[in-house]
Structure 1
């Protein structure tokens, strides 16, 4: 609660001790204060002379009074809607205005510089609806209910792996839902405060609430963008691989230009770029190259670039200065973090050998079978450790090494599959491209999936591709989804 709002509350209701509150909710038209943030165990129906200061008609469970003048809790309806899977119920202002109602009100949206709270509120409400649509809100709530039912089954943890997956998915969806409901609540609370300030002719309070709404509006685009990157592996770093299509030197040069475009794009975002592999062309360009892009949401953004890219230009390698068309294919692979296990090791697949440690050491090291060698039978990969003082510690260390080696092997296999996938795009040519880069006879870059285009191809080739990425991700999530 801001100091200004806290002061207003304390002055207006001097008989109430507000020091116990952390969350201010709203006033109604009769200046009846509502406060939220209390466990259900403390919620009781108000039956006290002081209840005349509170509106209980809009909420089922409301407050608990402790002593003569201390309000401990209220607003359980809002608290429940934020932390329950029954969050489909709409939040509202003290006079019943909802986010959907604001979006449907046709309030004119004007420039941010205008001090118009309705304009700010309408823009924020529209952003909330976009976020819900991109999160597939109705399906999310249905899925949450299904997961909640599974979590309440008494035999769930008989299968720990399945239970863990259910629990993680439920937690992830709950986190998304809570963020949206918190955004809705913040908007409605600010609107209530604006109305209160105008009733009281409190210019200072109105100004503060206008600033709060304006800040929410400015952050709304960022919130919409976050909703684009809600995939399981979107937050991971990634590998970007570019392969030249048929066409010899022309296509190899184009592949190099595309790879440089991605390097520049990654650097613009502050990502760290590492060249993993590069096969140069005989005369110019590259036949194939792979870079590693380290940074938050690198894969989430880069996945929009998968496909065939087409270039039309006057060839610098043609003495006749004729126009040529070249193609290059792009593949993107996420790099899974430590939270993911690439290879599941079964005890039955292991052969564990124990022997005496060799080399310099004390009596215990050289006279006991503390060293451990673990062989993964299906692959023949071996890990040995004899540096620790006990057999148990050596076994743990050897298992860690084995896990790392198996993971590395699996990643190499996946990379090979990805390379084969890229190479399998034998039709890197007409009719398969996702984007066209035209440098002659006119200058334009157009994404054929979304029809998004720019007339400055030089800027695109220098790494300014965010417009193409965001338009594609937006179209991908918005297409065919029901509005909330």
Structure 2
């Protein structure tokens, strides 16, 4: 009700989105509380006057509630500073040639389907096609509460082992793709970017996009001179829009860089060893000579490779976050019991 609430439209929209998300969260818990209260009263009535049909109805209502409560309790573990934010997910083909580019495109499709299953909105900001097939790299924003909290478990190198469809001899190939996930921190922290530190190139966009494609230099490539970070955007219809999106991506990458610096410094001060195997696979998908998806950090695995590649990634996300939460709990216990 503040008179100047809508004077800054973008800030107001951010507040309204936060309000909506919190209202939905509170309403969900209140509805569960009401259902549990009703079931409790029904169970007391059944103790006095047994009714087989009513007992079955009460019994059948409990498992869905338990499942819903389990998911909500799990969401409470997403308490990181940026866990509730939207995610900016980037996929880069690694070693493996055309197979790696095809693998990168398979991963993009997988995460888009995962987002759809969670009713998250997605928007592809950059899409660099491979020469023969697949993609060299792609960047997509996934909008939804806790999108970053869930997807940070996917950061790292993903490996695919299969019979290559691009090999005339149909031999087995190993391909790699790298996943980067950053929170959308636009308007949440101050990232100072001086105009003189940015080098901007424009070029003609490629791929689907309408009549303007290949006719105007609407695509934008932005380079941050001090760090050498380069971001591109060719999805929007105008150069101005692409500049705005590219600047947002640059802010996110600069934030990620600062976060890594702080984490490395904290690890140095605590005397912890920085992992030397960064870049090695965190998860492998094998479709020949057998079917298995295995996470090398948690040992979570499934033989349903088809379902996994169709977006059924939750089991792996949950396993990783549960392990992280267990590690934090163990550390707290150790600190409280020297």
Give the alignment's TM-score, normalised by structure 2: 0.57
State the distance in 2 between where 1:413 and 1:285 align: 28
State the distance in 1 between where 2:317 and 2:58 align: 33
Distance 1:462 1:410, change over 3 A: closer
Structure-to-structure mapping, 1:353-368, within 5 angstroms: none
Per-residue CA deviations over 1:378-400 (Å, capped at 9, x if unaligned) read xxxxxxxxxxxxxxxxxxxxxxx
Contact 2:160–2:285 under 8 Å retained in 1: yes
Residue 261 (1) aligns with residue 99 (2)? no
Per-residue CA deviations over 1:224-260 (Å, capped at 9, x if unaligned) read 2322322222221111101111232221221111111
RMSD: 4.4
Residue 304 of structure 1 is matched in structure 2 by 153
Residue from 274, 294, 305 that aligns with 1:457 = 305
Contact 1:313–1:439 under 8 Å retained in 2: yes
Per-residue CA deviations over 1:55-106 (Å, capped at 9, x if unaligned) read xxxxxxxxxxxxxxxxxxxxxxxxxxxxxxxxxxxxxxxxxxxxxxxxxxxx
Distance 1:284 1:427, change over 3 A: farther
Contact 2:186–2:251 under 8 Å retained in 1: no
Residue 467 (1) aligns with residue 278 (2)? no
Contact 2:191–2:255 under 8 Å retained in 1: no
Residue 415 of structure 1 is matched in structure 2 by 253
Distance 1:244 1:270, change over 3 A: same
Distance 1:316 1:228, change over 3 A: same
Contact 2:191–2:254 under 8 Å retained in 1: no
State the distance in 1 between where 2:73 and 2:170 align: 46
State the distance in 2 between where 1:446 and 1:270 align: 26
**Displacement of 1:449:** 1.4
Unaligned runs of 5+ in 1: 1-175, 346-404
Residue 277 (1) aligns with residue 126 (2)? yes
**Helix, strand or coil: the match of 2:142?**
strand
Contact 2:191–2:251 under 8 Å retained in 1: no
- Bigger drift between 472-481 and 210-219 goes to 210-219
Residue 313 of structure 1 is matched in structure 2 by 162
Residue 237 (1) aligns with residue 86 (2)? yes
Is the radius of gyration larger for structure 1 or structure 2? 1
Per-residue CA deviations over 1:90-147 (Å, capped at 9, x if unaligned) read xxxxxxxxxxxxxxxxxxxxxxxxxxxxxxxxxxxxxxxxxxxxxxxxxxxxxxxxxx
Per-residue CA deviations over 1:435-466 (Å, capped at 9, x if unaligned) read 11001111111111111111121221111111
Per-residue CA deviations over 1:137-164 (Å, capped at 9, x if unaligned) read xxxxxxxxxxxxxxxxxxxxxxxxxxxx
- With a CA cutoff of 8 Å and minimum separation of 6, indicate the structure with the bigger relative contact order: 2
Distance 1:292 1:258, change over 3 A: same
**Helix, strand or coil: the match of 1:300?**
helix
Residue 36 of structure 1 is matched in structure 2 by none
Contact 1:228–1:477 under 8 Å retained in 2: yes
Contact 1:313–1:438 under 8 Å retained in 2: yes
Distance 1:276 1:416, change over 3 A: farther
Structure-to-structure mapping, 1:39-188, within 5 angstroms: none
State the distance in 1 between where 2:297 and 2:285 align: 14
Residue from 183, 193, 202 that aligns with 1:334 = 183
Distance 1:311 1:428, change over 3 A: farther
Distance 1:462 1:408, change over 3 A: closer
State the distance in 2 between where 1:466 and 1:228 align: 15
State the distance in 1 between where 2:322 and 2:139 align: 27
**Displacement of 1:268:** 1.9
Number of equivalent positions: 239
**Helix, strand or coil: the match of 2:181?**
strand
Per-residue CA deviations over 1:268-301 (Å, capped at 9, x if unaligned) read 2222221111222222222211111112221121
Contact 1:254–1:326 under 8 Å retained in 2: yes
Residue 388 of structure 1 is matched in structure 2 by none
**Displacement of 1:316:** 1.5
Distance 1:304 1:323, change over 3 A: same
Give the alignment's TM-score, normalised by structure 1: 0.41
State the distance in 1 between where 2:301 and 2:84 align: 27
Contact 1:235–1:300 under 8 Å retained in 2: yes
State the distance in 2 between where 1:240 and 1:410 align: 13
Distance 1:289 1:273, change over 3 A: same
**Displacement of 1:479:** 3.2
Residue 444 of structure 1 is matched in structure 2 by 292
Contact 2:85–2:184 under 8 Å retained in 1: yes
